[in-house]
Amino acid sequence: MPTRFEDLPRNTRHDAERAACQFLLRNRYISLDEACQDRDLTLAELWSRILREAGLPDCDPPAFAPFA
């Protein structure tokens, strides 16, 4: 079972966030959801791919709370 994003050390979380932002910019997506739909991937699959390409350890995607 992958590690929870929230349980990673702060620096690793920042690196993962940076990798996700760079992925979105590089591929001209405005959201991870758009990228998932375009590539026909689940969020977990896309997140793992982004981390792997950045050389980071795999983990679950962050727990998003868009309305919190």
Residue 63 belongs to some domain of the structure: no
Range of the domain at 11: 5-53
Residue 22 lies in a domain: yes
Residue 47, domain member (yes or no): yes
What is the domain count for the chain?
1
Distance of CA 20 to the CA centre of its chain: 5
Is residue 25 a part of any domain in this protein? yes
Q: What is the pTM assigned to this prediction?
A: 0.87
Tokens of 21: 């932002």
pLDDT in tens, 4-58: 999 999 999 999 999 999 999 999 999 999 999 999 999 999 999 999 999 999 9
Query: How far is the CA of 1 from the CAs of 7, 24, 31, in angstroms?
Result: 13, 26, 25
Q: Compute CA distances 54 → 18, 20, 40, 46, whole Å.
A: 10, 9, 21, 12
